[in-house]
Amino acid sequence: MLKEKIAKGVMYVALAIVFAIIVLILSSIFIKGVKCITWEMVTSLPCGDFYTGGRGGFLNAIAGSLCIVSIATIIGLFISIPILLYLNIYLAKGSKFAFAVRLSLDILFGIPSIVYGAFAFIIMIYIGMRASLAGGILLTILLIVPVLVRSMDEFAKSFPQELLEVSYSLGATKLQTIGLIIRQIAPGIAAATLLAVGRAIGDTAGVMFTAGFSDSLPTSLTRPVATLPLAIFFQLSAPQEAVQERAYAAALVLTVIVLIISLLGRFITNRFGRNRL
Amino acid sequence: MKSGRRRVYRSEGVAVIMTVITFCVILLLFAMSGVLCFKSLPILKTHSLSELLTASSWRPSKNEFGFFPFIAGTLCVTAIAIVIALPLSFLTAVFLTEYSSGRIRRYVYPALDILSSLPSVIFGVWGTLVIVPWISKRVAPLFVGFSSGYTLLAAGIVLGIMILPLLVSLFTELFSSVPIGLKEVSASLGATRWQTTKKVVIKRSLPGLFATVVLALSRALGETIAVLMVCGNLPQVPHSLFDACYPLPALIANNYGEMLSVPLYEAALMFAALLLFFVVLIFNVLSRIIYRAH
């Protein structure tokens, strides 16, 4: 019985530590961020001496991040939904090709974003692209396609085979069955999209190489664009306290955005999914 | 209703497009390794592989490219992260699957979800805000006296916390997949909760546990920005927890701007990226193999 009690006690301690860490992180970010944030920061662009203590805000970063992520997600969905459907409908269950593709996706999912950044950087130099909005979009697409396909695949795997068979037995081609499938796994697609968006908006190392940085709002595909994570990083590295405070404010904004996305995702899975915990 | 043949042509036509797109996924993987290899060739031609991996001197302007401090830094940070994260995540996962009530789970799972969704730069900010001063003011004076706080220990702590949710979620999946029949049999034979957990659940999951750790290692190896912000960025082999270190991803991220100024610098950084790529690749495939065998 003593062993039992010790084991339980140790586990309670571990759980308490983990929970305390989570609370500590969120509260530090919130407390420090709320102290430093002003309305001006969220709604204005950096003025001339922003990075040395002047006025202005980081709207350029917010707009840049939203721009990159939204465009990349839309294009990413156009790429990943066909892959998902192909893997699950057109290919047979035990197909070697499907196995190879899923393995590749798993590996791609695990590759650090800095390696993606290096790769995208080389490609961009080769085709003559400079660090720009287009570069940032390219990298984000590369980054989130594995995330999208992998998470949607999890949902698609739990799709009942009988529905497919009924559809074929009624004479539908594979393409027509797809309409049926998409309606069924739509919540899965939504949740996967939110997951990918959360990952994309927080990525720093990849956009460092490919999107550059800029003080202005995103205006064209070929000019560098600011991103929120990079803005936080640069501002925090500045020696002036005033600039560092803006980093904390920006960190708060980013955290809030990510939390909203995460909660939304959870809400959708709980509300519309089946057999969710 | 569309004509019979046209439906079929449409379906087959779309299939071709989908095949191409799907094939591009595999192509992407090969393209990445090929491109990185190609770009690292210049430095591999002039320096031998063993020299690159074991030399300690990093002076690009003098054509000295010793990667050992960075490899050592990466290994040390990852080791500390695992040492911190493994016991915590393991115990938490066992608790959540075997012991806890639904009420606790309802609070803990979302909390872990939130932790896992936080961007790495936020962890870097938190590390700079909380961990670095804590080490500098409270921990270091007990051991070595002075430290700026930007240390191996800071990076290890931050990284450990970052891989916690992944470990917990993979562990809970593992433990949940132990057939409930086995646990019931064990209980019916008179085993206590802990005995059942230890001898049935954990023992059965051992290969999966190993695969999970390998996967978490590969994730930790590649983490760039959070580690960069707190590790100190000094190219030296760390000899104590309170030394600054310089892991491989931080090397690439910090120096990409000066890549094109010094000859071979670009090839060196691409070689670092290649190293990361291959280690992650091997670890991922390894963990997959173990999972399948299990």
Contact A251 B122 (CB under 8 A): yes
DSSP class of B262:
S
Q: Taking a C-beta distance cutoff of 8 angstroms, is the pair A246, A36 a contact?
A: yes
- pLDDT over 90 (residue A65): yes
- CB pairs below 8 Å between A and B: how many? 234
Nearest to A146, CA basis, from A216, A199, A213, A90? A199
Distance of CA A123 to the CA centre of its chain: 22
Question: A263 burial class (0-12, 13-18, 19+ CB within 10 angstroms)?
Answer: middle
CB of B161 within 8 Å of a chain A CB? The answer is: yes
Mean pLDDT value across residues A94-118? 89
Q: Taking a C-beta distance cutoff of 8 angstroms, is the pair A151, A191 a contact?
A: yes
Q: Taking a C-beta distance cutoff of 8 angstroms, is the pair B64, B58 a contact?
A: yes
Write out pLDDT tens, residues A67-78.
999 999 999 999
Query: DSSP strand E in chain A: where?
Result: none
Q: Taking a C-beta distance cutoff of 8 angstroms, is the pair A182, A29 a contact?
A: no
Mean pLDDT value across residues A31-49? 80
- Tell me, what's the pLDDT at B238? 87
Mean pLDDT value across residues A32-36? 88
A214 to A41, A129, A253, B33, B171: CA distances (angstroms): 16, 16, 19, 31, 43
- pLDDT over 80 (residue A96): yes
Cβ-Cβ contacts under 8 Å, B165 against chain A: none
Nearest to B121, CA basis, from B111, B113, B110, B129? B129
Low pLDDT (below 70) residues in chain B: 1-3, 294
- Tell me, what's the pLDDT at A277? 37
Cβ-Cβ contacts under 8 Å, A10 against chain B: 91
CB of B68 within 8 Å of a chain A CB? The answer is: no
Higher pLDDT, A184 or B83: B83
- Tell me, what's the pLDDT at A244? 86
Integer Cα distance of B20 and B274 in angstroms: 27
pTM: 0.90
- Tell me, what's the pLDDT at B11? 77
- Tell me, what's the pLDDT at A273? 62
Nearest to B42, CA basis, from B273, B262, B252, B267? B267
Q: The tokens of B235 are what?
A: 């190219």
- Tell me, what's the pLDDT at B9? 79
Contact B288 A106 (CB under 8 A): yes
- pLDDT over 70 (residue A162): yes
- Tell me, what's the pLDDT at A276? 39
CA distance A170 to chain B (A): 13
- The residue written with tokens 């068979």 in the block is A165
For chain A, what is the mean pLDDT? Answer: 86
- Tell me, what's the pLDDT at B1? 55
- pLDDT over 80 (residue A271): no
Cβ-Cβ contacts under 8 Å, A203 against chain B: 119
Q: Taking a C-beta distance cutoff of 8 angstroms, is the pair A65, A139 a contact?
A: no
Buried-state track A41-62, b at ≥16 Cβ within 10 A, e below 16: beebbbeeebbeeeebbbbbbb
CB of B249 within 8 Å of a chain A CB? The answer is: yes
Integer Cα distance of B9 and A92 in angstroms: 20
CB of A244 within 8 Å of a chain B CB? The answer is: no
Amino acid present at B123: F
Residue percentage of chain A with pLDDT more than 90: 42
Q: Taking a C-beta distance cutoff of 8 angstroms, is the pair B204, B178 a contact?
A: yes
Mean pLDDT value across residues A121-129? 90
Residue A34: other Cβ atoms inside 10 A: 11
Say what the ipTM of the complex is.
0.90
Integer Cα distance of B248 and A118 in angstroms: 13
Write out pLDDT tens, residues B34-43.
999 999 898 8
What single string gives the DSSP state of each residue in A165-198?
HHHHHTT--HHHHHHHHHHHHHHHHHHHHHHHHH
pLDDT band per the 50, 70, 90 thresholds, residue A54: low
- pLDDT over 80 (residue A94): no
CB of B185 within 8 Å of a chain A CB? The answer is: no
CA distance B54 to chain A (A): 22
Count how many residues are written for chain A.
277
pLDDT band per the 50, 70, 90 thresholds, residue A199: very high
Q: The tokens of A211 are what?
A: 């999107």
- Tell me, what's the pLDDT at B247? 92
- Tell me, what's the pLDDT at B70? 92
- Residue B58 has phi, psi (to 5 degrees) of -115, 90
Nearest to B251, CA basis, from A232, A112, A126? A112
Q: Taking a C-beta distance cutoff of 8 angstroms, is the pair B80, B160 a contact?
A: yes
Residue B220: other Cβ atoms inside 10 A: 25
- The residue written with tokens 């593709």 in the block is A101
- Tell me, what's the pLDDT at B3? 67
pLDDT band per the 50, 70, 90 thresholds, residue A216: confident
Q: The tokens of B119 are what?
A: 């961007």
The contacts of residue B266 (CB under 8 Å, 6+ apart) are B39, B42, B259, B260
A258 to A18, A115, A262, A265, B199: CA distances (angstroms): 20, 23, 6, 11, 40
